[in-house]
Structures are given as structure tokens and as C-alpha cells.
Structure 1
């Protein structure tokens, strides 16, 4: 955490959700030692919307509740909360924090988005990686509350600052509750065991997803689940490179060389497509000869490098199939949009095929036309 002096941990979103919920439930517990103040940074509106009913309950009992997130217009917040809109370039836009403080109790989670994903995650969203930490110690929460109060002071009304300063002042004067270290040790054990159970469950789900097919080639159902379309996700966080690839063989090849040979060629093509992929990457078949590679956290240059390796791999198949010359076209886009703009990339791929160019790039966050030709 920023102020505790502890070395930041590498944390997944899934583990942070569990700790956040525990801290939020602590905020709802009766405060026998004075007023409660709560601060939470959600990054994007969809993440807050999922918890808005809970924060309505928190705001009804807390003395001050501050909610921060990126957004162009004031979000609809529960009555009694103070909203802070963050600019995309603000360092706080990448922070996920939940702080609860009373004069004698405190809990804090502070994490910074790495804009990366855990390779073995069941979904892109659940596997998002953060650096940070959490604590159920009053003084840790006090220090983090002081930090955020200073960073947000010019964006909060005076009445909110007065209440915050009153609780901060009383917390500085009073000792924390004895036994915090023991209580936190028990909580960490529960979180660790829950994380171990999650990892085991995700391993089982991944085995089911790839049963009977290539380990990196997903069907539509598995791809939908992995990209988070059935859960809560938001634009503007994790960047993803999309590479649409069409591998076409000469017309009539199956009839000339036999269906069995064609099946072997298809497996060889699939091997060339997936060979450059990392464990965090996925591939899906879009049509008979069209594929989509989904590459989290890669830049456009890095995605183009992967595409070049795919092209080289497919070209190398001529050594095994000298009578079949595969033609490869591709389109590359890097996006932080959700849902992923697959149709945009497919449109660019069709454009590349029609124009007879090997690779087209899509303008960032735009579907208007391919941005360039390589």
C-alpha cells in the first residue's frame, strides 16, 4: 500500500473484489466508536453500477461517502454521497481503492491497474492485474484516507471536508483497537484459501473449454465467457490487440489433393496461427478460413510482430505442402473498448483482401476505415 511501507503485492481483480466486499460490509456494521467515513475509487461507471445498491446503504449510515471514477458527466449517485469525476490522465483514474475509517477502526484496499491480465485467468476481466495491498488496521486506513483527502480536497465541498477532518483528527488522537494484527491474520488466511479454491476451479473450467480442440482455440461460447460479455466489464481499462487473419488456399485444393490431405493442412494452419501466442492470448474461428487472435496488453507494434510471425509460420508450411500456396491477409487493431470491436476488425480484414494488401491497421477506437497498409 502507498503509505504503509509494505511492498506492493501482485493482485488479480477477482481477489480484490473479495476484499472490497469485506471492507464494504465492515462499513455497514454499527459504528460504536463514532462517525464513519468512506472513500472508494471505482475507475469506471459500470463497476460502480454493480455496487450502487450497496453504496446507497453505506451512504445512509456513514457521515461522509466519497465516490470517484472516470466520466464525462456526473453519474447518478445515491443520496448522501459526494461524487468526484476523474480525468482519464489523472493518476487516480488507474487506482482502485476502498477506505473505511472511524476514530478506532479502519480498513483499506489500494491497488493500481497494471493494464495487464493474468495468463491463467478464466476471463479477461477477472484476471486483470493490479499492484497494491489491503489492510484491516486502523492506522493504515488513516494514512490512506489522509492521502486521498489531500488529492481530492479541491473537488469536494467544504461540508464534506469538515466531516472528514473531524474523523481524521479524532483517529490521530485515539489508539487503534488492540488485536488488529490477529484479526487481519485470520482474514488473510480466509482470503488465501478462497484464492486457492478459485485457481482450482478456473483450471477445471479451462480444461472443459478446450476439451476436444486446440488448447488455444475457443468456440463462440467460451470466447464470450472469456471476454467478459456475460459479466461486468468497462471500456477504458485493459487494452487488447485484435488480429483478424484470413488464410486462403488455392481454389479446388481439396478436390485436387484429397479431403484427408486438406484436413491435415487445416491442422497445420491452426498450428502456425497459434504458435506465437502467449498463455494469456486466445484464438477463435470466425469463419471457414478466418480467425481472430485476442492479445491482451499488446501495443500495435507488438501485435504486428505477432502477425508477422503468423505469416512466416504459414509460409513455412510450403515445405510440407509444396503444391499448396496459402495466401494470408490480416488486420490489426488495439482497443480498450468493451465489447471488443470485432466487427471493425473483420471489416478491415475484408478491405485488405479486396485491396490485395497483406496487412491493414485499424485507426485507434475507430471503425471508419483502415488506418494504413503494411
Structure 2
């Protein structure tokens, strides 16, 4: 059966989108570059470029002769994508913290806002108020306003479906973590996405981190609670309700017994060892008050060779091996990336996990590596997701309609 012919309007839109996608990733370019890379006729290429300039998405630069690139004959017009014509915001709406990163349309950071919150004060009203505050503070720090925002993405510690909603939970936790953020920010942001935080961490690793070029990997957020962002065959897994790889399954796994994160486990083991007096005399953990012990402190000391902390890291590493074995069995992953704030001191526990992992898995064992993207990884992934959303939707926004 023959395919229906595209209408003139559809053809025009396709040409605009193709040139915009080329320009978004290009440096300075000419109409000839568009013709070569996009495959349009010269007249169409020039007309489309001119329209994108009119819409405010491209800027015309000084021509080749004025830029010092001598050529005979009429100098070529030069253009570039205007990354500053709008901005995107990536938000990490964690239970005890909120981070908002404002970036240009290339994803280059303009400002970052942090807000520590009381995890016990997690009513929907509190969460919405705090999220709006950290976003507005970050915009202010960047010298921008809500009117400058093209797309916004929020990461939450809950499953998220394709409509940006979280399913019911036995104690209402998921919907407290995602108290209709789509409606809140949709009141003024043109494009809004709500995603699971671990899924966004995986986006960050895939685009700028330890999983570039890897089609089969798991990003493990492992601070206080476990969260996993899973990619298989080059695509992220989500599920009907956004619950693919929901870590509550580890409540039923011997050797893990819960979705507590690696940082939480390290801190708990250290406190118990301190209370029992079983830490080596040389361990710096003996000189800390129990209230001062957290996962970062334990793993930092382990990285520095502290005997007591190293023993704890090895024990947590054996738990990581079980987790990696389950994830590797389910998804046949090539790589598992330990991400988040805990990653900075994860080398000792990863070494222990690597030693134990062959006993946990029949398939080829996945590589386990530490992320280098730090504690802001979720907002980094949210920025990348917001950039992609902007790329796909900016031509439909009234602010970039032009006068044609």
C-alpha cells in the first residue's frame, strides 16, 4: 500500500525540526552545511534558517569574511543556535533535600540552588512550597525569571507513570514525594516532566557519566535508600506504573533484607560496632559520637585505610554483591554504576563486591564502577531530560512562534 503524501504544512514542520536538531548540536554553520547534513534544497534551507532566526532560536553571526575566514566571492552567511534564548531547570526533589539546577538550552549550568528540608515534614503542602522555593531561588541566582523557562524536569523518590503521576502506596509515601508536581509547575512552565530519581541518575550517567556508550547498565542510587535506573538494549525501563526495578523487592532477598542504601547500612553497622566496643583501637570511628556517624564519614575513613571502617565497608560490599547479582540476573547488565553522594568513598565496598560477585551470578558478571557525578546527579539527569524535552517541543511553544 502506498504511503500518503505529506502536506505542505507537515513538510515545513519536518524541515524546521530537522534544521533545528542539526543546529542544536552544531557550532557556527552556513546554509551549505545545512544542505549537506540535512538534505534540503538551497532555497528551502535558507528559508527555514531565516524562519528559525525570526523565531529567536538561531542567531545570524558575522559573515565568513568579517570573521576572518577569507573566501573569494560573496561571503557566506553564518548562523548558530541560541542556547541562551531560554533555559531549562532540573530538580532533585529528595526526601530530605531539594536541588534545582538552572541551565541553558545546551545544558550548561547557570546556577544551582540547594534546600535542606526536614524529612518528617513531608506533607504535600510542605513539599510543593519547598520545591517552588528552591526553583525560584535558583532562577534568581541565574538572573532569570519563570518567563525564561522552556522546560522543567523533576526527579522524585517514587515510581512515576507516563502521565507524571505516582501510584498509591500503603502509607501514602509515593504520593507525598510527588504531590502533583506536574500541576504545580505546569501552571507556568511550558514543558514539564516528572520522573523517578534513579531513572534520571541513569540518564545522567548515560549522557555525561560512567555509562556513555553502554546500552545495558544499572545506575544504583545507594545513599539512604536503594533506587535503580535500568537501561536494557539502549532504552530505559519504566513499566506500566513506573515501577520497573522498584527496590522494595529486596525486602524478600536473603542477604539484603530491605531497600536500605549502602550509606545507611555502613552507618548502622558502624554505630552497632561502636556500641558493642568491637571496633579496633586504632579506628577513628571510636572517637566519634554515634550521632556524628553517617555513611559518608564511614566510607571516607575506609578509603583512607581506617581498619574499623574498612571492615564495615567489606561487609556492606558483600551486600552490594548480592544486589548486583540480582540485578545482573534480571537484566543481564554489563555495568552497574554506584551513584550519588555515597560514590565518592565507594571504592572499598566495590572491591569487596567484585570479589564476592562471581558467587552470586551464573551470567558474565557486570562491571561495578563508582560514579563521578557527585551528590547532584539527579538534578544533572533532570537537566539532560529537560533539554531533550525542549528539543522536542520548543517549535510548538508560543514564545518561539515568530510572526509567520
TM-score tier, shorter chain, comes to: under 0.3
Q: Normalising by structure 2, report the TM-score.
A: 0.24
Q: Normalising by structure 1, report the TM-score.
A: 0.26
